[in-house]
Amino acid sequence: MSEHTKGAQPDQEPTPVVAPAEEAAQGPNAVLIIATLCFGGLAAALMQTLVVPLQPELPTLLDTSRSNASWVITAALLGGAVAMPIAGRLADMFGKKLVLLVSGLLLVLGSVICAAGSGLAPMVVGRAVQGLAMGFIPVAISLMREVTPPRLTSIAVATMSATMGVGGAIGLPLAAAIYESGDWHVLFWASAALSALVLVLTWIVVPPVQDAVGGRLDWGGAIGLSAALILVLTAITKGNDWGWSSATTLGMLVAGLLVLAGWGAYELRHSNPLVDLRTSARPAVLFCNVAGVAIGFGMMAQSIVVPLLLESPKSTGYGLGQTILEAGLWMAPGGLMMLVFAPVSATLINRIGPKYTLMLGATILGLGYLFAAFMMGSAWQLMIASMVCAAGVGIGYAAMPTLILGAVPLSEAGAAVGFNSLMRSVGTTTASAVMALVLTSSSIDVDGISFPSDSTFTWCFLIGAVAAFIGVAITLFVPGSKPAPQPVPVAPAEAGAEPTSAGT
């Protein structure tokens, strides 16, 4: 067997988690740290939904075709997918606070680029930079165990995981309100100000922790994974525009899969890989990541289908004729359910373990989809369905990082959580393509405009339910959960102190 990474070997017990000294992580101080990290995660998640209300108007606003305008969405998805595993690995090597600060800076930079530009090119570049800042979320999750006392760790991780849904819930109506009341550039100037606040709070509130293990970045692995993700995810997101049987789509898919296979072989031979595939092959990590794809799919599917149902005109026979702002307000309670269920998730994780908590979350998600499939007649029914789905996603998203962190050494925590976030991103990206494919499979004509037929919405909800229940089945193969390792108190790093190795 080739030389393995400097962390623990696959048959080695996970390294105990390191936390700051008791005085640095108790009472109000710990709550303030958690609130700051969650606020940063919320801001990063907001960037993903920022342009959703603008989608129908983007071709006009940017003076481009509808196909080209879709790159505004795709660029952010690709940036996030590339950033999450790389940011996690960099956090393990050089310290999580440093990577959080860089992510905050990227949020500011991306927002300013979008706000200052008016054409397609600056918008796509700015959105890609905003996507790179999504590395903030997995790094913050992996940091939670180091900066919180044991009694707050589960709820901190659950709340941080919930920010992804809450960001989407708040972002949709907020962006719609700003857009309808003024210039669309104001959206991005506002996001730049919010991002600057995240940067300042992270610098001031988050303590420097001795969590850097050093080493060199696996540039070959980073480039290989980035290339594979860009090829595969671009083919998935653009397949409906280019045609699934087109040479471009098939060529990018095949090339991406070949690059991914080569990347895997390279990582297995590397002494200090970007992603430790041997650790990722542990049953707890492997099946949790696969379940993450299914639950990520489930989260995104209803986020696409429900707003479309709400905003479709009543003349279609099924549409509810809501404005963009009204649709966002109907969707908002669903996202907020993820925040409401954060303490519930923490309690479940502590009582029944993360495995069964994940199974419960996926089951609730599936039931929410089944409810939606047969209750599409009014806005309040769709709101309830989205709330049930969001509760399931919130519970599941809280359980996955806990499973991952309990199965890997501290020296690989950031990369492992980042890779899990990537798997969820693959699920959400795939859901976008599948939902678009189903919705365009059958259409009706209303006043010369083509709309999806009502049966396509039913099929979308049923597919979402199947994805959720597949997640339940996959989680059955996760080994029985063990109590999470207790943090070992150590003093926070002094200003200018050399980072020390942990977990090696």
User: Residue for token digits 């794809």?
Assistant: 293
DSSP reduced 3-state for 339: helix
Q: Please check the confidence at residue 31 and state whether its pLDDT lies above 70.
A: yes
Q: What is the DSSP letter of 50?
A: T
How far is C-alpha 503 from the chain's CA centre?
26
Q: What's the fold here for domain 18-217+274-484?
A: Growth Hormone; Chain: A; (1.20.1250)
Q: Render the burial of 422-456: b for 16+ CB within 10 Å, e for the rest.
A: bbbbbbbbbbbbbbbebbeeeeeeeeeeebbbbeb
Residue 193, both tokens: 């100000």
- Count CB-CB contacts under 10 A for residue 498: 9
In angstroms, the CA 346 to CA 38 distance is 15
pLDDT, mean of residues 156-166: 77
The predicted structure's pLDDT at residue 460? 93
Q: Please check the confidence at residue 490 and state whether its pLDDT lies above 50.
A: no
The predicted structure's pLDDT at residue 28? 54
In angstroms, the CA 163 to CA 342 distance is 10
255-263 long-range contacts (CB < 8 A, ≥24 apart) are: 255/231, 256/227, 256/228, 256/229, 256/230, 256/231, 256/232, 257/228, 257/232, 259/224, 259/227, 259/228, 259/231, 260/225, 260/228, 260/232, 262/224, 263/221, 263/224, 263/225, 263/228
In angstroms, the CA 114 to CA 121 distance is 9
Q: Please check the confidence at residue 9 and state whether its pLDDT lies above 80.
A: no
Q: Please check the confidence at residue 491 and state whether its pLDDT lies above 80.
A: no
The predicted structure's pLDDT at residue 211? 61
**pLDDT digits over 288-333, tens only?**
999 999 988 988 888 888 888 988 888 888 888 888 788 888 888 8
Q: What is the DSSP letter of 452?
A: E
Top pLDDT among 286 and 10 is at 286
**Domain chopping of the chain, boundaries:** 18-217+274-484, 218-273
Amino acid letter, residue 436: A
In angstroms, the CA 144 to CA 104 distance is 17
Top pLDDT among 91 and 502 is at 91
Top pLDDT among 331 and 493 is at 331
Of 435, 444, 430, the closest CA to residue 462 belongs to 435
Half-sphere exposure of 362 (CA within 13 A, CB side): 28
In angstroms, the CA 257 to CA 250 distance is 11
Taking a C-beta distance cutoff of 8 angstroms, is the pair 342, 398 a contact? yes
Amino acid letter, residue 96: K
Of 381, 495, 365, the closest CA to residue 424 belongs to 365
Of 450, 428, 448, 453, the closest CA to residue 438 belongs to 453
Q: Give alpha helix (H) positions in 323-441.
A: 324-340, 342-352, 354-374, 379-405, 413-439
Q: Residue 174: what are its φ and ψ, rounded to 5°?
A: -65, -45
Strand partners, 19: 489
**pLDDT digits over 211-268, tens only?**
666 667 788 988 998 899 889 888 887 887 888 899 999 999 999 999 999 999 998 8
Top pLDDT among 251 and 11 is at 251
**pLDDT digits over 370-418, tens only?**
999 988 889 999 999 999 998 998 898 888 988 888 888 777 777 788 7
